[in-house]
Amino acid sequence: MSTLPPTGRQIGDVLLGVEDISLSFGGVRALSGVTFDVRQGEIRAIIGPNGAGKSSMLNVINGVYSPQQGTIRFRGEARRGMNPQRAAAQGVARTFQNIALFKGMTVLDNIMTGRNLKMRATLLEQAIYLGRNQREELQHRAKVEEIIDFLQIEHIRKTPVGRLPYGLQKRVELARALASEPILLLLDEPMAGMNVEEKQDMCRFILDVNEEFGTTIVLIEHDMGVVMDISDRIVVLDYGRKIADGFPDEVRSNQAVIDAYLGVAH
Amino acid sequence: MSKASSPGAADTFPRLLLEHARTRPEKTSIREKDLGIWQSWTWAQVADEVRALALGLSALGFQRGENLAIIGDNRPQLYWAMAAAQCLGGVPVPLYQDAVANEMIYILEDADIRIAVVEDQEQVDKLLEIKDRLPKLRAIIYEDPRGMRNYAQPYLHLYAQVQERGRGVHREQPDLFDREVAQGADSDVSIMLYTSGTTGKPKGVCQTHAALMAAARGACQFDRLDASDEVLSYLPMAWVGDNLFSYAQALVAGFTINCPESGDTVMTDMREIGPTYYFAPPRVFENILTQVTIRMEDAASIKRALFRYFLGVARRCGAQILDGKHSVAFLDRLRYAVGNFLIYAPLRNVLGMSRVRVAYTAGAAIGPDLFRFYRSIGVNLKQFYGSTETCAYVCMQPNAQIKLDSVGPPAPGVEVKIAGTGEVLVKSAAMLSGYYKRPDATAEVFDEHGYFRTGDAGYFDQDGHLKIIDRAKDVGKLTNGAVFAPNFIENKLKFFPYVKEAVAFGHEHDRVCAFINIDLGAVGNWAERRGLAYSGYTDLAANPEVYALIQDCVSKVNAELAADPMLADSQVHRFLVLHKELDPDDDELTRTRKVRRGFIADKYAALVAALYSDVSSCYVETEVKFEDGRKGKISANVRIGNASTLAIDQQTGIPGSRGPEVPSRKSATA
């Protein structure tokens, strides 16, 4: 299943380069001159107070927003004219701050949608479930079952998503993102609104995904305990600017970060 | 039975396995749902897998007579490990997979375990945690490689690699395996199961091939089980029942066993497999019925009405129809047939019981209403009686001779008698050869005539069926001399879907009081329906409306008890809803989920004292263990409720209401 040789965790070269990104909506500057990089195989956290521009940053990487200034380099190539679908085709998957699943569909079907980009059969073939589609469907189902097993959601395989508790829905969303076998996984507050036990489970799954599949992960999270525990490096944004970047220990003791979180007289 | 041709000729389990591989190589032996699909192995494949593992184990230094620890959920690979150990003349020792590491130390140490076969990373982590304290342990074989990538310890081995090594050995010495199997004798110990430790430290019960096989053969003939049967294996492997049903009987009869995908999917998997032979302890039947009840309450009113009506019909005549009695009126038969079409058959189908020919329950007393429910909808549920020491084979209910409150006549080949003290004594071939390294304990459980003391109190009724009332040592007396059978009272309370556990006190007291654990699922649902907000178990347990609900249950039990002159004194006067759920991790329940009454009485001495005083609430602080081994504290102000009891008029014998001694509202607002 893994796309990497089974050698455990190894941080490689730069996978994603964010260079001097600025983004504004009318008069509001969401991001100004943000630069950082994400290395192959690492867990990279983006933190910052509310309105710091974290989700905007993720949306830029994901291709939802086009920045007015700056470049994004993915696997060494500068991207132009990006949109979410092309980003997905390149191997970027994401989960959302507010769960964005199909509530009326089963867990299994939701995760199958994550395989959509990999399906080659035509609409007609899919409609009559013949030939190429049948073969494909079986392959994709096998892959999806591996993910179901990995995230331990066998017992809800056939349950409509809308009937599940919040913590499990978050896990299903992660499963759908994984179904596309991403190179880069963007997680927007994967642990928001969870209880302690659910958070522990989610942490475990994020680490497992990173270790087992070698997936590079960029995550936004507010729970500092979690962030400091699981991320390799952390970027801190405040008012759209990068104010710190480094290993958890460095960030923890950084005065600018402390000020941003606790507030100082400007 | 002809000795030469049938599988009956083999006298050890490995020989039975090889016999099946020879006589029915292509028949499915075991299935497991993996990655959403049922994977199956034929008898020939199983024999091959077992041989590979056995030879791999011997290459790792596993020796004749040695014990092999097996820890994990019901997985084909773990059943094969049991067979592999037996092939080498070793003894498999399955452990409860949900036990925390510290609880495993005693058994691993006592059983001199050098090699353990475990399911996955979770179990490996537990063993690594206690490895320092287990000097003898030198190899851990794990089946599932997930998450194991960064474990470099040289004593960790992947199951498949051990098998690979075994296959290599087989190529070099093709006759080694057969030689090993040939050395086995039916008097060898085939398995060692640890008692649950309700009293003192767990003891290793040694069962020989001959003993276990006598039990398995007897039971298979009794219910005419054969190779066409299907069984779902989902109960802990460390429990004698699973050993008998999923291993010994499967090998004797040659039927197929099915391992569910995970503990959470048992219901779905059962429905897909449709077992023909099913076993579950009463608590599982209870959970299923609770689920059905809850779901019916959510159903549309017409469905609810149909359900209620036809359940009434079934209660009236269902069990008689199942037993083939001729006394049922034609009209009732007609009603039952309609009910079967509309309700019972679909319900059986949803529960995965459509094909069940024989279903058993044991391990604890089953509520009569619960028992009657399953029989009335056409599930041939029966009771048996037995223990780890007797291979779970003492009494069984024959078809059509079912009584709600007895466990049936002695099984074929078993001799049962009642001692003067009321204790049940047993003699049969299916009997332990001894407790491991405990000749003192072995000597203690046999009387001078070689009968095994079961420790249960019981008597035979007029039809020769054994009736068990309680553990002999649990049966106590109230200060006025009346008999106090705590289990009996607890079981009556537990029959209510809202009550999950109950602990009754009364021995050497002047009246009976009880602790109650509410069922979070059922009461939670009830609370939601009435718009009661609660944050968790402790909060819900303290809710005054919940107290009123439980009080109602207790009063109904009292009414039943009052109807029996023997038990009228056992009515529950005061009760409380415990602020935490009783948990095996806190030693309050055994791993088989029996309440440890003495331990609970000591631990919550303050609460017991409060029950027997006239206070209306009591503050307690309790230490709890979390699943990850950390400890925490729960504190709560526990209310005490009063139940209405019925007095027996000494002259007329007619119960008259005495009413609660203290108005319940007072305690509710305290």
Exposure string of B599-615, with b = 16+ CB inside 10 Å and e = fewer, is ebeebbeebbebbeeee
Query: For residue B560, what are its two tokens?
Result: 């039943």
Query: For residue B442, what are its two tokens?
Result: 């072995």
Q: How far is CA A49 from CA B394, B457, B612, in A?
A: 69, 68, 56
- pLDDT tens-digit series, residues B256-273: 999 999 888 898 899 999
Nearest to B13 by CA among B103, B61, B85: B85
Cβ-based contacts of A143 with chain B (< 8 Å) = none
| Whole-number Å distance between alpha carbons of B141 and B113 | 13
**Which range is least confidently modeled, A10-19, A76-85, B16-25, B391-400?**
A76-85
Query: For residue A172, what are its two tokens?
Result: 């299903």
pLDDT of residue B564: 66
Q: How far is CA B622 from CA B534, B600, B630, in A?
A: 20, 12, 14
Determine the 3-state secondary structure of B543 from DSSP: coil
| Whole-number Å distance between alpha carbons of A140 and B184 | 48
Going from N- to C-terminal start, the domains of chain B cover: 11-279, 476-669
B36:A6 CB<8 A: no
Q: Please check the confidence at residue B659 and state whether its pLDDT lies above 50.
A: no
Mean pLDDT of the B111-138 span: 94
Query: For residue B492, what are its two tokens?
Result: 């009556």
User: Which of B35, B147, B262 has the CB atom closest to A146's CB atom?
Assistant: B35
pLDDT of residue A179: 92
Measure the CA dihedral B214/B215/B221/B223, to 10°: 180
Going from N- to C-terminal start, the domains of chain A cover: 14-91+182-262
Q: Which helix (H) or strand (E) holds B193?
A: strand B189-194
**What are the E-state strand segments in chain A?**
14-25, 28-39, 43-47, 69-74, 77-78, 92-95, 184-188, 216-220, 233-238, 241-246
Mean pLDDT of the B282-303 span: 88
Residue B52 pLDDT class (50, 70, 90 cuts): very high
Q: What is the mean pLDDT of chain B?
A: 87
Exposure string of A77-112, with b = 16+ CB inside 10 Å and e = fewer, is eebeebeeeebbebbbbbbbeebebeeeebbbebbb
Q: How many angstroms separate the most distant Cα atoms in chain A?
A: 68
Domain covering B11-279 in this structure, CATH number: 3.40.50.12780
Chain B residues whose C-beta sits inside 8 Å of any chain A C-beta: 34-37, 146-147, 149-150, 261-262, 264-265, 268
A208:B147 CB<8 A: yes
Please report which residue ranges of B143-242 form alpha helices under DSSP H.
Answer: 159-172, 176-183, 209-222, 240-242
B37:A145 CB<8 A: yes
Proportion of chain B above pLDDT 70, given as a percent: 94
B35:A6 CB<8 A: no
Proportion of chain B above pLDDT 90, given as a percent: 56
Q: How far is CA B51 from CA A187, B178, B326, B576, in A?
A: 47, 9, 53, 56
- The terminus-to-terminus CA distance of chain A in angstroms comes to 52
Residue A265 pLDDT class (50, 70, 90 cuts): low
- pLDDT tens-digit series, residues B331-352: 999 999 999 999 999 999 999 9
Could you give the angle at the alpha carbon of B613 between the alpha carbons of B608 and B614, nearest 5°?
A: 130
Mean pLDDT of the B568-589 span: 88
Q: Please check the confidence at residue B221 and state whether its pLDDT lies above 80.
A: yes
Mean pLDDT of the B75-97 span: 96
Q: How far is CA B44 from CA B8, B26, B250, B257, in A?
A: 18, 7, 15, 15
| Whole-number Å distance between alpha carbons of B244 and B241 | 5
Q: Which amino acid is at A154?
A: E
| Whole-number Å distance between alpha carbons of A3 and A226 | 26
Mean pLDDT of the B381-393 span: 91
DSSP bridge partners of B279? B360
| Whole-number Å distance between alpha carbons of B179 and B569 | 65
pLDDT of residue B566: 64
**Residue A131: CB partners within 8 Å, gap ≥ 6?**
A121, A125
User: Residue B232, CB half-sphere, CA atoms under 13 Å: how many?
Assistant: 30
Q: Are A66 and A38 in contact (CB under 8 A)?
A: no
The nearest CA of chain B is from the CA of A8 a distance in Å of 6
| Whole-number Å distance between alpha carbons of A44 and A87 | 19
Cβ-based contacts of A8 with chain B (< 8 Å) = 149-150
Q: How many angstroms separate the most distant Cα atoms in chain B?
A: 87
Q: Best residue in B32, B119, B149, B272 to probe A by mutation, most A CBs within 10 Å?
A: B149
B109/B198: higher pLDDT: B109
Cβ-based contacts of B37 with chain A (< 8 Å) = 145
Sheet architecture: strand order including B139-142: B91-95, B67-71, B115-118, B139-142, B156-158
Q: Number of Cβ pairs closer than 8 Å across A and B?
A: 34
pLDDT of residue B668: 32
Q: Please check the confidence at residue B670 and state whether its pLDDT lies above 50.
A: no
| Whole-number Å distance between alpha carbons of B194 and B202 | 6
The answer to whether residue A155 neighbours chain B at the CB level (below 8 Å) is yes
Q: Which of A251-260, B149-158, B363-372 shows the highest mean pLDDT?
A: B149-158
Q: Are B608 and B601 in contact (CB under 8 A)?
A: yes
pLDDT of residue A266: 57
Q: Are B401 and B75 in contact (CB under 8 A)?
A: no
Nearest to B144 by CA among B75, B97, B92: B75
Q: Best residue in A109, A155, A164, A209 to probe B by mutation, most B CBs within 10 Å?
A: A155
The answer to whether residue A145 neighbours chain B at the CB level (below 8 Å) is yes
Q: Are B492 and B512 in contact (CB under 8 A)?
A: no
Nearest to A106 by CA among A149, A148, A146: A148
B36:A148 CB<8 A: yes
| Whole-number Å distance between alpha carbons of A235 and A242 | 7
Nearest to B284 by CA among B359, B340, B194, B220: B359
- pLDDT tens-digit series, residues B231-262: 999 999 999 889 998 999 999 999 999 999 98
Mean pLDDT of the A37-44 span: 93
Q: Does domain B476-669 have CATH number 3.30.300.30?
A: yes
Cβ-based contacts of A157 with chain B (< 8 Å) = 36
| Whole-number Å distance between alpha carbons of B141 and B162 | 8
Report strand pairing: A216-220 vs A43-47: parallel
Report strand pairing: B452-460 vs B466-471: antiparallel
- Name the CATH superfamily for A14-91+182-262: P-loop containing nucleotide triphosphate hydrolases (3.40.50.300)
- DSSP per-residue codes, A140-172: HHHHHHHHHHHTT-GGGTTSBGGGS-HHHHHHH
- The terminus-to-terminus CA distance of chain B in angstroms comes to 71
pLDDT of residue A83: 82
| Whole-number Å distance between alpha carbons of B257 and A171 | 32
| Whole-number Å distance between alpha carbons of A41 and A45 | 13
Q: Which residue in chain A has the smallest CA separation from B626?
A: A197
B454 phi, psi to nearest 5 deg: -80, -25
pLDDT of residue B345: 94
Q: Which residue in chain B has the smallest CA separation from A154?
A: B265
Query: For residue B147, what are its two tokens?
Result: 């998450």
- DSSP per-residue codes, B507-530: TTSSSEEEEEEE-HHHHHHHHHHT
Nearest to A116 by CA among A96, A144, A97: A144
| Whole-number Å distance between alpha carbons of A92 and A242 | 23
- pLDDT tens-digit series, residues A157-171: 999 999 898 889 999
| Whole-number Å distance between alpha carbons of B203 and B205 | 6
